[in-house]
Structure 1
């Protein structure tokens, strides 16, 4: 039986649908939201509470400290081990989350090149000394296919590192739309105005539920030291509240805008995959419709 993945933009109810499917199909859930890996990042990531999970086992939640950096490669290994373990117990694995590359890492043929800290440090030092433009031009000459697809300093450095370490272009490691085992992706989306209003309400609920206190507590646990966790939606904005550089209202408004922009990028990512079966997240029979897709 295929692996199920519930995907789509933030705020569309992926976690709730995954729980309903797990209850109907004797399944267990594997988290594919990269920010829900972090212990203590609960309010700001809309992580389901134990009661909301309704007894359904959830895997790969709360597996990292906020100081640790999330790794797609490490996640791929852990996710595939979790899927195999769920299957071995005769249950159905169900992926839930909107981190597109992590979903692809779990489902698709995707190879991760090795790293070399010495090479990485040297390239970062060059970028600091000469500017990232010099490295971008070097990449364009050596690997034009990759250069056309990477547009930030971190990925330019990574592409040059891969080329030097493996002798293969970074583009050779980009994911293919080929499942490693049978899978069905169910996408949730809704009309833009409805999604924007929903995201705004959700941010306000997070503030009311204690997001500022959560950020303050995590700041004491090293949130700012984490390269991944510190950039999470809401957390970076509300750290400025703690620093006196922003008000709660301003941080909330900035989080709403950033969340809408993130949702737009998620839609672009998942809509580009023709294998996703899309459903209107607001239809009253969304659970039945999802089960119908799986039966078909």
Structure 2
């Protein structure tokens, strides 16, 4: 392959499946650079709770789009799309493989696919959020169902329902119309790491325990002083929301750990649902002793 035809490689799958390690190994084997596609790893200082690879575990491989936001800032998938595509072009111009690594499904798709993102109107969004406070989530979703039943059935959290209603009022089009058929923006290969659910549950529980031992509570304390609570995105991150309650004296560490593990399992289930729905993903067993070989073969033959 010439530099201009190198595909974008995306390593996807549930949290705790080993995506970061495989990304580094592929970059070392093939000659590549990593692009972060975990929306919580955009944030400076959110290291332990997001399982961000420490510098000394990155194998000398350049990592892009890590630590690009303060915790008070809101992540934007449309901004990420522009940044990721610019980074992809720069990496390919150096003759290297761009390797997208992360489990934030919409962000992965924004980088890889022909996908349009409508604008936003802060005043309109505030009005819809006020309506949410007034009438409640189910009533607001019922309103969305009248104009966009596809999105109403698919979206299960208040923030995304608010966004869907905002898009409809701004554009006159249903939010679901902005998620077209899956078509790559440029050549790409997606590799998914498959983990059996019982094994994944054990790995996730162990990972949360490790985060606590590494100092997650102290990390949350530092970020709290930096404005974590005012960040609409960062303050909701797994582990951080729970350990803020420890700082407030509402929970003890054990309760925060238990709730974080439960929430992380649910999140991993949603990730699997998202990526399993994409027939273009090649699934590989995460614990295959020949994983790197299998991944490399899938890329070179894909």
Which residue of 1 is the match for residue 3 of structure 2?
A: none
Which residue of 1 is the match for residue 167 of structure 2?
A: 162
Determine which of 56, 62, 67 is the counterpart of 2:67.
62
Which residue of 1 is the match for residue 29 of structure 2?
A: 24
CA shift digits 1:213-242 (9 cap, x unpaired): 111111110111111111111111111111
1:115 and 1:148 mapped to 2: Cα distance? Answer: 22
Which residue of 2 is the match for residue 195 of structure 1?
A: 200
1:214 and 1:263 mapped to 2: Cα distance? Answer: 23
Determine which of 223, 227, 232 is the counterpart of 1:222.
227
1:110 and 1:89 mapped to 2: Cα distance? Answer: 26
**Change in 2 beyond 3 A, CA 1:253/1:86:** same
Determine which of 225, 246, 249 is the counterpart of 1:244.
249
168-177 vs 240-249, which moves further: 168-177
Determine which of 251, 257, 262 is the counterpart of 1:257.
262
Q: Deviation above 6 Å: which 4+ runs of structure 1?
A: none
Which residue of 2 is the match for residue 11 of structure 1?
A: 16
- In the TM superposition, 1:78-117 aligns within 5 A as 78-117=83-122
Matched, 1:282 2:287: yes
For residue 224 of structure 1, give the secondary structure of its aligned residue in structure 2: helix
1:32 and 1:239 mapped to 2: Cα distance? Answer: 25
1:138 and 1:256 mapped to 2: Cα distance? Answer: 33
Which residue of 2 is the match for residue 127 of structure 1?
A: 132
**Change in 2 beyond 3 A, CA 1:163/1:215:** same
**Change in 2 beyond 3 A, CA 1:129/1:241:** closer
2:156 and 2:200 mapped to 1: Cα distance? Answer: 28
Matched, 1:50 2:47: no
Q: CA RMSD in A?
A: 1.4
Which residue of 1 is the match for residue 78 of structure 2?
A: 73
1:279 and 1:208 mapped to 2: Cα distance? Answer: 31
For residue 148 of structure 1, give the secondary structure of its aligned residue in structure 2: helix
1:124 and 1:265 mapped to 2: Cα distance? Answer: 24
Determine which of 272, 276, 292 is the counterpart of 1:271.
276
For residue 51 of structure 1, give the secondary structure of its aligned residue in structure 2: helix
Offset, 1:54: 1.1
2:139 and 2:284 mapped to 1: Cα distance? Answer: 45
Gaps of 5+ in 2: 1-5
TM-score when normalising by structure 2: 0.94
Contact 1:111 1:173 in 2 (8 A): yes
TM-score when normalising by structure 1: 0.96
1:197 and 1:262 mapped to 2: Cα distance? Answer: 15
